[in-house]
Amino acid sequence: MRGLVLVGEPEVGKYAVAARRRLELLAEASTRIGTTLDVGRTARELAETAVPRLADFVTVDVPASVLRGEESNDPTGELHRTVVHGIRDDCPFYPVGERLVLRPTTPHMRSLATGQPVLEPELKAAFGWIAQDPDHAELLLAHNIHSLITVPLLSRGVVLGVACFYRSRNPAPYGDDDRSLAQELAARASLCIDNARRYTREHTLALSLQRSLLPHGLPEQSAVEVAHRYLPAESGVGGDWFDVIPLSGTRVALLVGDVVGHGLHAAATMGRLRTAARNFAELELAPDELLTHLDNLMVRLDREEGGDDPAAGTTAIVGATCLYAVYDPTTQRCTMARAGHPPPALLLPDGTVTFPDLPAGPPLGLGGLPFESAEVHLPENSRLVLYTDGLIEDRHRDIDLALEELHRTLATDPGRSPEDTCQAILDALAPEHPADDIALLVARTHATPPDRIAAWELPADPARVCDVRAAAMEQLGRWGLEESSFATELLLSELVTNGIRYGGGEPVRVRLIHDRTLICEVYDASNTAPRMRQAANTDEGGRGLFLVAQLAQAWGTRYTPDGKVIWAEFALDAA
């Protein structure tokens, strides 16, 4: 059995015991205050540490801007009651959340003005405190609250608020030793509160940056009906993103990705990758080729930011995962490739749920490794579910169990809309306190009706151009699009003639699609991309593509295994 034996004057022993208790309280404060990066929670930890050994009641008032992670331009003018904590709950302090308007004579304002703690040993004689609100002061005195210490919360030159320590049970008033102890506690808490404030600022900035870089609305297209969700992590914003990109020929690209890490750097890297992915998609690259370009970009960004030089002092890009899919409603085929990303889930119209066996591929940023595409058939009204790993990875749950739960959720009600499917998935799988971002994309596929597609194939004979023009005009008449006939006839004449001239003698195919726009496509065997140029006044040719560009709402080229496709779109309302 151990004990403390004090030899000497009784008063010396009493001071030794008090000093030891102060040290114990300060040691405890080092472990209890600052366990989270939340300003309000850290302020409450200060109050919980001080009660009951230093105070019977503690209040903490913090400017609203500090709670948002900012520095306060007027800390005395925007104080809000943030914490009320004590030995009982019936003491009539101003409630949490109330904005405080305090007189300059109060101990709170004197602390903030001088930057020093203020001791009011006898509140009955503290006229500045009583003058603030005599009725309220009378209520507090009636609860036997008789002594007060106010301490400003200061860190790195920033005013973070004021902490107030009240005594009621101990009849002795606060003294100088108590004031020093309160000041030391507040100093330790101030550093933790400022760390939490800085983290809140960075978290808010990263979240704002990420949300500004994510799609604010989905583009109009007919290939799929899409719903999406994005949930940020509680502990830090990551680099998850998703996108829906309309492509030529009524096709659509669906993409989800996840940059490794959290914070501003991950959000900024996500923005660069999303922009690059959209640009590569505009080039009509196949999914595996697009991932190769993104991989090369990640390697280059890492090199430019000093990833190979530990002494550079910059944050290296660790890597990213991505899943890219292109769906064609005219063939109901979907081509997908992934770079270290979780596989998609597929819900067929008959209720069957599968996880397509796609080649995994390496994460983006490794460099020099190949990616592979896979093609699957998606009947009309299939649901394609793309997500990031935050949905299925959780420290309290195995990934296989999460995938089983996703399978069960999709199979439970196959007739749900994409919006309802999104919500059902989150309700079933999203953690209550997500440690990682979650991006979720659900697409229900449509199919272009066969009677909205017309196709012809003709030999490489210029004399046959008139035949396809006549067939196309007849088809436009059946669709009720006679107003588009003039522009379509001119465009077909130019593109089909070029296809015959430069296609190496191979047959030329023509396809018309009646969608939101009228789409005209000409397939030939040449791999040479057409280029619009400025024809001179004396040139006999060179004006064909200029004419196409003037007639069409949009036009371009995409490559196929057998050559290329030149396409053009006409706005139906302006035709």
User: Is a pLDDT exceeding 50 seen at residue 574?
Assistant: no
Q: Look at residue 17 and tell me if it is in a domain.
A: no
Q: Look at residue 127 and tell me if it is in a domain.
A: yes
The domain that holds 274 is classified in CATH as 3.60.40.10
Structure confidence at residue 26 as a pLDDT band (50, 70, 90)? confident
Helices (H), 238-286: 264-282
Rounded to an integer, the average pLDDT of 350-357 is: 93
DSSP secondary structure letter of residue 478:
H
User: Is a pLDDT exceeding 70 seen at residue 564?
Assistant: yes
Long-range contacts of 341-344 (CB under 8 A, 24+ apart): 341/256, 341/257, 341/258, 341/388, 341/389, 342/387, 342/388, 342/389, 342/392, 344/384, 344/385, 344/386, 344/387
Q: Residue 50: how many CB atoms within 10 A of its CB?
A: 26
Same domain, 386 and 284: yes
To 5 degrees, how large is the angle CA 472–CA 473–CA 478?
95
User: Is a pLDDT exceeding 60 seen at residue 36?
Assistant: yes
Q: Look at residue 332 and tell me if it is in a domain.
A: yes
The domain that holds 503 is classified in CATH as 3.30.565.10
Tell me which residue of 534, 528, 539 sits closest to 564, measured CA to CA.
528
Q: What is the pLDDT of residue 316?
A: 56
Of 445, 464, 495, the residue at which a domain comes to its end is 445
Show the domain range for 492.
450-574
Q: Look at residue 21 and tell me if it is in a domain.
A: no
User: Is a pLDDT exceeding 60 seen at residue 314?
Assistant: no
Same domain, 226 and 336: yes
To 5 degrees, how large is the angle CA 29–CA 34–CA 39?
125
Q: What is the pLDDT of residues 395-424, one digit of tens each?
A: 778 888 999 999 999 999 888 999 999 999
To 5 degrees, how large is the angle CA 73–CA 74–CA 75?
110
Same domain, 137 and 109: yes
The domain that holds 58 is classified in CATH as 3.30.450.40
For 499, phi and psi rounded to 5 degrees? -60, -40
280 vs 505: CA distance, rounded Å: 31
Helices (H), 328-452: 399-412, 418-429
Tell me which residue of 407, 258, 228, 231 sits closest to 339, measured CA to CA.
258
Pairing of strands 383-387, 345-347: antiparallel
210 vs 267: CA distance, rounded Å: 5
User: Is a pLDDT exceeding 50 seen at residue 80?
Assistant: yes
Same domain, 463 and 387: no
Of 426, 445, 464, the residue at which a domain comes to its end is 445
Same domain, 303 and 255: yes
Q: Residue 413: how many CB atoms within 10 A of its CB?
A: 12
Count of domains for the chain: 3
566 vs 546: CA distance, rounded Å: 14
Same domain, 71 and 112: yes
Same domain, 230 and 295: yes
Same domain, 462 and 546: yes
Same domain, 322 and 404: yes
User: Is a pLDDT exceeding 50 seen at residue 575?
Assistant: no
Q: Which residue has 């009849």 as its token pair?
A: 171
Of 385, 413, 445, the residue at which a domain comes to its end is 445
Q: Show Cβ contacts of residue 145 under 8 Å, excluding neighbours closer than 6 positions.
A: 56, 57, 91, 123, 166, 167, 168
Q: Which residue has 């109330």 as its token pair?
A: 98
Same domain, 422 and 454: no
Same domain, 116 and 222: no
Q: Look at residue 20 and tell me if it is in a domain.
A: no
Q: Look at residue 1 and tell me if it is in a domain.
A: no
Looking at per-residue pLDDT, the higher value among 535 and 566 belongs to 566
Same domain, 397 and 429: yes
Q: What is the pLDDT of residues 62-77, one digit of tens each?
A: 999 999 999 888 888 8
User: Is a pLDDT exceeding 60 seen at residue 210?
Assistant: yes
User: Is a pLDDT exceeding 60 seen at residue 491?
Assistant: yes
Average pLDDT, the chain: 88
Q: Look at residue 18 and tell me if it is in a domain.
A: no
